[in-house]
Structure 1
Amino acid sequence: MTIGEYAMMLAGEKWLSQKANEIHAYNITTEPSVDTPFHMQVIKCKNYTHDTKYKLPVAPSPNLKDMGAIYLYPSTCFFEGTVLSEGRGTAMPFRIFGHPDLPKHLYRFTPRANAGAKTGKLFNQTCYGWRIDGQADELLASLQHKINLSYIIEAYTLFPDKEKFFLPNLFFDKLAGNNLLRKQISEGSTEDEIRDSWKPGLLTFMNIRKKYLLYPDFTISKP
C-alpha cells in the first residue's frame, strides 16, 4: 500500500487512538478549517500503479546502500534480532550475514567499524555465513513479492547453540510483530508450514486493504 492508502485504512478501520478516531469521525462531517485539524486529503499520483517500481535517488540509510539491499531488507532484517552479524561494518550490509560459530566452509567476512557503522555486532571477528550477490532487479524477481524465510531458517539450523541464537531482549519479536515466528523457527517449522499459518490473516487483511486502494493493484502471489 502507498502511505496515503495506508492512512485511509487506519482512519477508515478506526485503528487510531480513541481520541483520534473521534476527531476523525467529527471532521469528516465538517468543512476543513484551521480550527478543525486532522482533515485528511490524499492527492493521487498520475500514471502510478502498484506494479510501478520506484528507485530511491538517495540511500535511506548508510547501511542500505543500494536497491538490492533495500529489496532484501524485509528478509534479512531479522538477523538484527539474532546474535549473527547482519553485515554492518562490511561493504554489503543486509546482503552479508553470519557468525564465528557457523561452519567454516561458508562465506568468510570480518565486520569492522566504518562510516556507516561505528559499532556493531562481532566487529573485528572472523565470521562465516552468506553473501547475496545480484543486481537489484534480479533479486526482486527472485523474491516474488515475498519475504524469504530460508535465510533465517538455514542460519538457525546450522547454528550450534540454539538457545543463544535469538537476542535475549527478543528484538526479533518486535521485527516479526509477535513471538510466533520465533517459536515456529525454534520448533523446526518449515518455510511452507510458516507461510500456511499466515494465510488466514493475510486473506482478512487483503479483503480490508482492497477497500482503500487508490491505484490499480498488482497480481498477488500466493503467501
Structure 2
Amino acid sequence: MLRKDTGVLHLCLIFFSIPFILFGQYSSKDISYFQKSGAVLLESNSHLFEGKRIGIVSHASALSHGRLDNKLNRLDTNGFQNPIHTVDRFIDNNWNVIKVFSPEHGFRSDAPAGEVISDDIDYKTGLPIISLYGKNKKPSVEDLEDLDILVFDLQDVGVRFYTYISTLSLVMEACAENGKGLIVLDRPNPFSSVVSGPILDTSYSSFVGMHPVPLLYGLTIGEYAKMVKGEGWIQNSEILDLTVLKIPFFEREISVNPIPPSPNLPNLNSILLYPSLCLFEGCPVSVGRGTDYPFEVIGAPWYKDKTFVFTPKKNSGSKYPKFEKQICYGDDLRNSAKISMGFNIDYILEYFDAWSRLTPEVSQKSTNKIFFSKFFDKLAGSDVLRKQVEKGLNASEISQSWEKDLKDFKENIRDKYILYSVD
C-alpha cells in the first residue's frame, strides 16, 4: 500500500512486478488525472465515514491527488501532495477500514482476464481482501455483516463488457439487500461522451453485460450507478442508500489513468480499440494477448494474405493466449488512422469475409468450421449482430439498425442520470 510519509510509491510493491516507482516519475498530466476523482472530496464528506465500519471495493488504479471542499476549493496546500491510494487515504484519515474487496484482475490489477481470484491478506495493512471474482462475484451476507458502508472506487473504461460495471451492479444489489450504504467515488473514462453499438437484449444477460445498454453507453461509473438504481435494474433498488462523490472540474474530456485498469489495456490506444476488437474474443482471431501490444494488433494463423505477423506467447497478462506459439498474420493498429471514438464494425466484417473465402480444408483445420462462437453473441449482447454479418450487411446498414434504439436510450434513460455537461 502507499504511505504518504515515505516519498516512494510502495503501492507498486504489491501491485506491480517492478521494484519501485518514484513520485517524481509522474508527469504533470498524470497528476492532473489523479486530481479528477471523487476521492479528492473524501475529507470534506468525512461525516459519511466517521464512526462507520467500512469496506472498500478497489484496485491498483484507485489513486488520487489533493483534496477539495464541496465547493471545489482546495482545502490546504499540504494534504496529499503525492498520489495516494484510496485505501491508504482512509487509513491516514483514521477511518475504520475493516476489509477490501477486489474485482476481476485482482486488487493488484495484474491477473489475466478470466482468471479466478482468491481471497488474500494485504501484507502491509493486514486487511483481508475479499475476491469478487472467485467463488462469489457478489458480496455475501457474511462479507457485509461487520460493515456499515461500502466505498466503491474502480477505474472503469466505459465499455459494456468490461466487467467492473457488473461488479458495481452486484455490489449495489448486495448493499440494498443488507441495508448497507454505498458511496461511489466517480472517475473519468475515455468513452463518457460516446453512445454507440448494439443494445443488450436482457435474454443474453451475463457478467460481460448485465443491463440493456449500448456497447458504449456514454456515462461515468458514478452516472452508471445512478442509472442502475433509477431504472430498477437490481433487486430492492428503491431502498439502496447511494451516494456519488462527483469528479471535480470534469468536462468529459478524453483521458486515461496512468495506472492501467487491467494488464491487457496498457495505454489509451488499446482502450480506444478495445470496444471494436474485444468481439474477436468470440472468433478465431487473436487480439494480441500474449504479446507486448494487446488490443493493438489482430490476426490469425489462417489469414496469410496479411504481411504483418506476431506470435502470441504465455506472459504475465495471458497464461493461455489464443494461438499460443503460432504465427498470426494480421494488422498492426498501433499507429492506425482507423481508430475512432466509437464502435467500429469494419474489423469484424473484414476478417469474417476473409475467413468465408477460405477453402473448406483450411477453415476446418484452422477454425473448426465456426467463425462466431456463442461467446460472440454474449459480448455483442444478442445474436442480431452475428446474423447481420452472416447475412452480408455492410457497416452502414448495420450501424443504421441501431440508431433508433440509441436515440431512445439517450433521450429516455441516459439523460436522466447525467452529472456532467454533455456536448
1:16–1:105 CA distance, 2 compared to 1 (3 A):
closer
Trace 1:102-113 onto structure 2 (pairs within 5 A). Answer: 102-113=303-314
Separation of aligned partners in 2, 1:119 and 1:212: 40
Output one character per residue of 1:45-73: Cα deviation in whole Å (capped at 9) or x when no partner. 221122x2322121122211211101110
1:180 alignment counterpart = 384
Hey, what does 2:220 align to over in structure 1?
A: 2
Match of 1:47 in 2: 249
Cα offset for 1:76? 0.6
What is the CA-CA distance between 1:14 and the residue it aligns to? 2.0
Q: 1:202 aligns with which of 394, 398, 406?
A: 406
Shift of residue 174 of structure 1? 1.0
**Partner AA of 2:307 in structure 1:** L
Q: Is the contact made by 1:64 and 1:70 (CA closer than 8 Å) also made in structure 2?
A: yes
SS at match of 2:244: coil
Could you tell me whether the CA contact under 8 Å between 1:103 and 1:158 is conserved in 2? no
Question: What letter matches 1:179 in structure 2?
Answer: D
Structure 2, unmatched stretches of 5+, are: 1-218
Q: Specify the alignment match of 1:31 in structure 2.
A: none
Amino acid at match of 2:404: P
**Which stretch has the larger CA shift, 200-209 or 106-115?**
106-115
1:191 to 384, 395, 400: 395
In structure 1, C-alpha distance between the alignment counterparts of 2:258 and 2:314, rounded to whole Å: 26
How far apart in 1 are the matches of 2:318 and 2:417? 39
Q: Compute the TM-score of the two structures, normalised by the length of structure 1.
A: 0.81
CA contact (8 A) 2:296 2:333 kept: yes
The structure richer in strand per residue is 2
How big is the shift at 1:214? 1.0
Separation in structure 2 between the aligned mates of residue 105 and residue 209 of structure 1, nearest angstrom:
41
1:177 Cα deviation after fit:
0.8
Q: Distance in 2 between matches of 1:182 and 1:9?
A: 28
2:302 to 82, 89, 101: 101
User: Which position in structure 1 is the counterpart of 2:234?
Assistant: 16
Q: How many residues matched?
A: 194
Kindly indicate which of the two structures has a greater share of residues assigned to helix.
Answer: 1
2:421 maps to which of 211, 216, 219:
216
- The residue identity in structure 2 corresponding to 1:10 is V
Identity among equivalent pairs (%): 40
Q: Gaps spanning 5+ residues in structure 1: where? A: 28-37, 219-223
